[in-house]
Amino acid sequence: MSAVTVRVPAKVNLVLAVGPLRADGYHEVATLYQAVSLHDEVEARAEPGLSVSIEGDRADEVPRDTENLAAQAAQALAAYAGVPADVHLTVRKDIPVAGGLAGGSADAAAALVACDVLWDTGLGRGELTTLAARLGSDVPFALTGGTALGIGRGERLTPAMVGGTFHWVLAFAEGGLSTPAVYAELDRLREGRPVPRPDVSRKVLAALRAGDPTMLAAELRNDLEEAACSLRPSLASMLEEGRSAGALAGLVSGSGPTCAFLARDEEHARALAEDLADSEICAAARYVSGPVAGARVSGTGR
């Protein structure tokens, strides 16, 4: 086999409860991830040496050197499996860069799966998940997809039971937000306030099991929202715009600036996406549904 293509989804955090800052510089979190139908694609092609090219909107904002997370994933896998890191990675981006949708983490997960098949390393899913966790807190979830509870840094996963498909609108903002900067802003805002242990309520798990968007809407929560809105005040208007356009609920996705709005059904979500796309506040809006599968091989070539 000379080329392997992997498709990998974006995620939204239905709940992101952020606890105290740990000694290792990460925050203890309890989060509920859902993979949604917005995908990047990574093609791994057998070539001497390790190189990366990026295609898609704002491709110029993605690093091509050793800072690229997909390249780091290939390097880490090669070192672990004891094979030469001979691969050209083509990352085709549809997930916005620095959007709070774990696009970089998704590309790393896709590169792990693609190179694993290309190099025929014979590693198990557990070993890939361990490598994924070293690359970033959200990378293990991009491998597994679906809907899952994440604890620790977000890398320790338990699948959640989901009784149906949920329909979302993603509203994109101009430009990205840096995840470390948003966490640092939360620490600043919280100075002097007690920080409770992060937790995901039973009610949100029940809403997922029931497949009930109205129940779920009441339980959506992101502790990073306050910090993301503090760094980007226009996000408060974007949230207001979606809510007044009839969304059941809206929240900042991860560290932002993308906002996710929950709809009653597909028809409602598509209408909401049109309304938001026409508004001046959003750069673009798009209907997605979840949960969807994690990083999967979508094609191979000889």
CB of 131 to ligand C5P, least distance (A): 14
Nearer to ligand C5P, 23 or 192 (CB): 23
Q: 124 to 153, contacts with ligand C5P by CB under 6 A?
A: 136-138, 153
Site for ligand C5P in 179-198 (CB under 6 A): 179-180, 183
Spot the catalytic one: 11, 40, 93, 223.
11
Please state the closest distance from residue 262 (CB atom) to ligand C5P, in A.
24
33, β-bridge pairs: 13, 148
Is there a catalytic annotation at residue 138? yes
DSSP 249: E
Query: Considering beta carbons, is residue 121 or 222 the nearer one to ligand C5P?
Result: 222
Whether 86 is catalytic? no
Nearer to ligand C5P, 227 or 272 (CB): 227
Beta strands in 145-248 (DSSP E): 147-152, 156-159, 166-172, 221-222
Q: Find the catalytic residue in 40, 107, 116, 138.
A: 138
| Nearest alpha carbon to residue 224 among 14, 17, 69 | 17
Task: Return the residues of window 17-56 that contact ligand C5P according to CB under 6 A.
Answer: 25-27, 29
| E strand intervals along 173-302 | 221-222, 249-252, 259-263, 284-290, 296-301
Round to whole Å and give the CA distance between 273 and 170: 8
Q: Tell me, residue by residue from 149 to 178, as one string, x for binding to ligand C5P by CB under 6 A and - for no binding.
A: ----xx------------------------
- H-state helical runs in 221-265: 225-231, 234-244
13 binds ligand C5P (CB under 6 A): no
| Residues whose CB falls within 8 Å of the CB of residue 91, separated by 6 or more in sequence, listed in order | 40, 41, 42, 52, 53, 54, 55, 56, 62, 68, 70, 107, 110, 111
Question: CA torsion sign, 290 to 149 to 177 to 256?
Answer: positive
* Residue with smaller CB distance to ligand C5P, 242 or 257: 257
Cα distances (angstroms) measured from residue 218 to each of 103, 137, 169, 253: 27, 26, 17, 16
Q: Which is nearer to ligand C5P, 29 or 208 (CB)?
A: 29
Rounded Cα distance between 177 and 226, Å, is: 13
The CA distances from residue 294 to 35, 71, 91, 302, in Å, are: 7, 19, 16, 24
Minimum CB distance to ligand C5P, residue 108 (Å): 9
Quote the least distance from Cβ 251 to ligand C5P, whole Å.
17
Number of residues in contact with ligand C5P, rule: CB under 6 A?
Answer: 12
Smallest separation, CB 11 to ligand C5P (Å):
12
Q: Which residues are catalytic?
A: 11, 138
Q: Which residues bind ligand C5P (CB under 6 A)?
A: 25-27, 29, 136-138, 153-154, 179-180, 183
